[in-house]
Chain A
Amino acid sequence: MTAELVRGQNHTLPQTRLEIRVSAGTPVVAGATLGDEDGTVHGTEWVAHPGSPQLPGLEVSGQAAAEHRLAVDLDALPASVHRVTVLLALPTGVGGPVRFGAVASPFVAVTGLEGSEIATFTLTGLDTESAVTALELYRRQGAWKVRAVGQGYAGGLAAMLADQGLTQAAELAHSIQDAVARAMARSVAPPPPRTPDSDRVGHGTGPVPPSDGRRHPVAPPTATQPPEPLAEPITPPSAATTGGPINYAHPRRQASAPPPPPPAAPPAEPGHAARPVAGDATGWSMEERLYNQIWGMFEDLARTTAAYRSAVDFAESRMDQELDRSLSDPRNRIGGAGDRAREQARAKRDELTARAREVLDRDLAQLAAESAVVEPALPAAYAGWDNPVWHAYRVPMETPMALRIGDLHLPESPDLRIPLLVRLPLERGIWVDSGRTASEAAALMDTAQLRRLAMENAVAHAARLLAVYPADEFSVHVIDPAGSAAGALAPLVESGALAGPPAAGAGGVASVLAQLTRRVDLVQMAIRAGAADSLPPDLDTGEQLLIVNDFPHGFDDRAVTQLRYLADEGPSVGVHLLMVADREDAGAYGPVLDPLWRSLLRITPVADDHLADPWVGHAWTYEPLGMPPGSRVLEQVLARVAAARHPRRP
């Protein structure tokens, strides 16, 4: 519920970690001052400005830009600070406009870290002013509030700062404008956007073990392909496929303003690790920073566990050797010497294992603390169903970078869950394995239960995909030849979020496959020929997801061939598969279908340790995202998705 403030109006802030977004039609300087109870600014060190962009709990950007994001952590401010004043000023001496009356009205928004707007304010009615105080955040009886101010100063920054009681106002105003002019001279062009795989997530190919095969001695036999495709940069489908006006913007290039600085981690107390902060990673947006941070946590957990396991293995093997030696020494057969030697060997093992555990526990505590701040800050696409962000769900305007499809954990730290994020658009289909796996959880269920659970999971994944794409840019088709999944599909069917009713029978299978095959063919041809505008008008160019239940029931050879074609060619033109299948059911096809299964990301409806990380190759336990018991969040989200749809063009 965004509050649109008018001048002088105030609004209570529900949280203390905030972003303040500024957009103006022209590059402006954004800064903030810290004041005491009376609003007095006591010195230049109480002012965050481009020349000195960081204060505890406050960060502004280092140069003038049309778009700003100021990071504010009200809890991290010194206790003596009672007022944070957000100010805007026009840069002087760079040939730009010199009064706010000549530019579009600046707009400021106070948002949560995940981007939800709390309050907005448009600064109208400015004329000759070249500096303006936009907002005030202030303490009132222990709580923070925001007030829309909009007070302009024709005398510019110097007059404004002097008005706040700053004695060195003129010098500071001058040095701010200097810093801005210097930054403008430097910023010829922004650096090319880095794909996320150029930093921490960039170990896509995974380590190659030395040829002597000494390493990875415990590679689990069930380990499938490491999930390295998750880390690859996305190649968005060509803008030409939309058939609309040509968009000259580079699909991955963001606005020319520099990325907002990552939230500043508060300085570490001596002897302690720094307090973790959500978004403490590189990236051009909060979303990308959180994505990289999660991958960084994933890698850190993989590596610290590798160190621990290696130490424990070594301790065990050394003890075994020492025990062997003591047994083979004839002198040890009489008297207590042998017992003593064995005792010593065990003590050495225990001592080393304990030290390794201590290091692991220290690292796990650090990662758990990081996870505790990151999870609540996640946007819906990265968040579990139990995150409140799903209750405030609104149909997004942009496709997110990635989608969380489950959690990963290791046996050493079952409580530390790493979100499993897959890049969007999907690069490979998903296979929810409804078959019996080796896992304990699967052993507790009968086949029918597993199948139902698999289909419910598939529906939840489809719902997440529908929810994180903008309206009308994602459609879901279902093939349920025998109608056996009607119960699980009910939320999708009843909400009206499906493109059409689930296809039943061999005829239904054939018609859905034919429709999607035609779409893949046409879009591929159009891209190759560079003729996106000649696509037939009835063709839906949004992303398509096909849920297939009960495979290969209802499939003839032709349909199987079409399905394989969709698996191979679909992802590059936005047609994706979500198979709910037990590989045994299709056993009659023999190895012909192996490439199909391999091309899909296999996940399970129950916890199962079959996914390998790309760095060390541990077997990670995958768990699907649980729905809180009794929650109606799935239905609510799907209802919003369906309501945001536009009626199909004829």
Chain B
Amino acid sequence: MTVNMTKGQAISLQKSDGGTLTAVRMGLGWQAAPRRGLFGSRTREIDLDASAVLFADKQPVDVVFFRHLVSDDGSVKHTGDNLVGGAGSGGDDEAILVDLQRVPVHIDQIVFTVNSFTGQTFQEVQNAFCRIVDETNGQELARYTLDGGGQYTAQIMAKVHRSGNGWQMTALGNPANGRTFQDLMPAILPHL
């Protein structure tokens, strides 16, 4: 069962059988720009990027994005940069895997963001979504639809944060503008 999340909604990352989540994946998918005219290669490609920022008590400690694919501690992994998007059929084009059991003890929040590296706003991108999946069984926990999202080039998606002994996820869905996660830092800080 998928929750179509709304802004600010918090869900606990507990499995339906009571066990806590051990691994989650943030998936991002979008449809490649349609090929046009005689010179298809001149199609203006759309490059969306998924990033994850690891915070310890509101201090950014590590970032996983297309230039740093694995966090130093090895707990957060980006599967690789996709520069053009996919068929728009619902598959993930970029994914970030988080092994919650291996996240270092001082990291208490991980914020997921999406940026348009090539600068198109989400209005111009078709079939764009991002979602959080329980990696152990493939079950989708939450999904956001990005397209039609207005004149924004970035979105602060969601955060997973420690709560008690387990982890909780809060949907943020906050639009912002920026090319990479660095531009988003001022917009992320209020959500911590």
Judge whether A304 is part of the interface by a CB distance below 8 angstroms.
yes
B104 touches A356 (CB 8 A): yes
> Which residues of chain B (68-111) have a CB below 8 Å from chain A?
68-70, 72-75, 102, 104-106
Q: Any chain A CB within 8 A of the CB of B3?
A: no
Residues of A within 8 A of B74 (CB): 299-300, 303-304, 306-307, 615
Q: Does B151 contact A (CB under 8 A)?
A: no
Q: Which of chain A's residues 579-630 have a Cβ closer than 8 Å to chain B?
A: 615-616
Number of A-B contacts (CB under 8 A): 67
Nearest A residue to B57, CB-CB? A318
Write the nearest CB–CB distance from B110 to chain A, whole angstroms. Answer: 14
CB neighbours (8 Å) of A311 from chain B are 56, 104-106
Residues of A within 8 A of B59 (CB): 314, 317
Q: Closest A residue to B69 by CB, please name it.
A: A207
Q: Given A210-B67, A210-B182, A310-B104, verify A303-B73 contact (CB < 8 Å).
A: yes
Given known pairs A210-B67, A314-B59, the reply for A352 and B72 (CB within 8 Å) is no
Rounded to whole angstroms, the CA-CA distance of A315 and B59 in the bound complex is 12
Query: Provided the pairs A311-B104, A315-B106, A355-B105 are in contact, do residues A210 and B63 lie with their beta carbons within 8 angstroms?
Result: yes
A303 to B70, CA, bound (A): 10
For the complex, would chain A's binding face be called helix, strand, loop or mixed by DSSP majority? Answer: helix
Given A215-B62, A315-B106, A352-B106: A307 and B72 within 8 A (CB)? Answer: yes
Q: Is B192 in the interface zone, CB < 8 Å from A?
A: no
A373 within 8 A of B: no
**Separation in Å of the B120 CB from the closest CB of chain A?**
23
Query: Is there a chain B Cβ closer than 8 Å to A329's Cβ?
Result: no
Contact yes or no, B70 A615, CB < 8 A: yes
Known interface pairs A207-B70, A210-B67; A314-B106 also in contact (CB < 8 Å): yes
- A209 at interface, CB cutoff 8 A: yes
Residues of chain B within 8 A of A314, CB atoms compared: 56-57, 59, 61, 106
Contact assessment for A304 and B73 in the assembled complex, using a CB-CB cutoff below 8 Å:
yes
B residues near A299, Cβ cutoff 8 Å: 74
Chain B residues with CB under 8 Å of A214's CB are 60
Contact B63 A310 (CB under 8 A): no
* A365 contacts the other chain (CB 8 A): no
**CA gap between A510 and B152 in the complex, in Å:** 70
**Contact of A42 with B by CB under 8 A:** no
Whole-angstrom CA separation of A306 from B74 in the bound complex: 9
With a cutoff of 8 Å between Cβ atoms, the chain A residues found around residue B56 in the complex are 310-311, 314
* Complex interface residues of chain A between 184 and 211 (CB less than 8 A to chain B): 203, 207-211
Say whether A212 faces chain B, with CB atoms less than 8 Å apart: yes
State the CA gap A356–B182 with chains docked (Å). 28
A210–B68 CA distance with the chains assembled, in angstroms = 8
Closest residue of chain B to A203 (Cβ to Cβ) is B70
Given contacts A212-B182, A306-B73, contact A207 B106 (CB under 8 A): no
Which residues from chain A contact B62 at a C-beta distance below 8 Å? 215, 310
Residues of the B chain whose Cβ atoms lie less than 8 Å from the Cβ of A310: 56, 61-62, 72-73, 104, 106
Least CB separation from B101: chain A residue: A359
Q: Mark interface residues in A267-311 (1 if CB within 8 Å of B CB, else 0).
A: 000000000000000000000000000000001100110111011
Partner of A306, one of B63, B69, B72: B72
Instruction: Name the CB-closest residue of A to B104.
Output: A307
B61 (CB) vs chain A CBs: closest residue: A310
Number of B interface residues, CB 8 Å?
Answer: 21
A392-419 to B contact mask, C-beta < 8 Å, 1/0: 0000000000000000000000000000
Give chain A residues whose Cβ lies under 8 Å from the Cβ of B68: 207-210
Q: How far is the CA of A209 from the CA of B68 in the complex (A)?
A: 7
The interface residues of chain B lying within 8 Å CB-to-CB of A616 are: 72
Name the interface residues of B39-71: CB closer than 8 Å to any CB of A: 56-57, 59-63, 65, 67-70
Bound state CA distance, A290 and B62, in angstroms? 31
Q: How far is the CA of A479 from the CA of B57 in the complex (A)?
A: 60
* Interchain CA distance A616-B70 in the complex, whole Å: 10
Residues of A within 8 A of B69 (CB): 207
Q: How far is the CB of B8 from chain A (nearest CB, A)?
A: 28
A207 CB contacts on chain B under 8 angstroms:
68-70, 72
State the Cβ distance, B41 to closest chain A Cβ, in Å.
27
- Give CA–CA (A102, B171) in the complex, Å: 70
Q: Name B68's closest neighbour in chain A (CB-CB).
A: A207
Interface residues of A in 465-501 (CB under 8 A from B): none
Query: With a CB–CB cut-off of 8 A, which chain A residues contact B60?
Result: 214
Q: How far is the CA of A70 from the CA of B18 in the complex (A)?
A: 41
Cβ-closest chain A residue relative to B106: A311
Interchain CA distance A25-B42 in the complex, whole Å:
57
Could you mark each residue 422-450 of chain A with 1 if its beta carbon is under 8 Å from any beta carbon of chain B, else 0? Answer: 00000000000000000000000000000
* Inter-chain contact A303/B72, CB cutoff 8 Å: yes
Closest to B66 in A: A208
In the complex the two chains form, is A356's CB within 8 Å of B63's CB?
A: no
Contact with B along A32-62 (1 / 0, CB 8 A): 0000000000000000000000000000000
Cα-based distance from A317 to B74 in the complex (angstroms): 23
CB neighbours (8 Å) of B102 from chain A are: 307
- Return chain B residues, CB-CB under 8 Å to A211: 182
CB contacts (< 8 Å) of A210 on chain B: these are 63, 65, 67-68, 182
Closest to B54 in A: A310
Residues of A near B72 (CB, < 8 A) are 207, 215, 303, 306-307, 310, 615-616
Residue of B nearest to A306 (CB): B72
A588 to B74 CA separation, bound complex (whole angstroms): 45
Contacting residues, chain B, for A317 (C-beta < 8 A): 59
Query: Which of A203, A209, A306, A356 touches B106 (beta carbons < 8 Å)?
Result: A356
**Chain B residues with CB under 8 A of A306:** 72-74
Interfacial chain B residues near A215, Cβ < 8 Å? 62, 72
**Smallest CB gap from B75: residue in A:** A307
- Bitwise, A211-238 to B at CB < 8 A (1) or not (0) is 1101100000000000000000000000
- Smallest CB–CB gap between A647 and chain B, Å? 53
A616–B63 alpha-carbon span in the complex (Å): 13
Bound complex: CA A458 to CA B22 (Å): 48
Determine if A359 and B63 form an interchain contact, defined as CB atoms under 8 angstroms apart: no
| Known contacts A214-B60, A356-B105, then 13 further A-B pairs from the complex at CB < 8 Å, ordered by chain A residue | A207-B70, A208-B68, A211-B182, A304-B74, A306-B72, A307-B74, A307-B104, A308-B104, A310-B104, A310-B106, A311-B56, A352-B106, A355-B105
Q: Which 9 A-B pairs have the closest CB atoms?
A: A307-B73, A303-B74, A307-B104, A306-B72, A311-B106, A355-B105, A314-B106, A314-B56, A616-B72
**B-to-A contact residues, CB < 8 Å:** 56-57, 59-63, 65, 67-70, 72-75, 102, 104-106, 182
| 18 A-B contact pairs sorted by A residue (CB < 8 Å) | A207-B72, A208-B68, A210-B67, A303-B72, A303-B73, A303-B74, A304-B74, A306-B73, A307-B73, A307-B75, A310-B56, A310-B61, A310-B73, A314-B56, A359-B104, A615-B72, A615-B74, A616-B72
Interface positions of A (Cβ within 8 A of B): 203, 207-212, 214-215, 299-300, 303-304, 306-308, 310-311, 314-315, 317-318, 352, 355-356, 359, 615-616
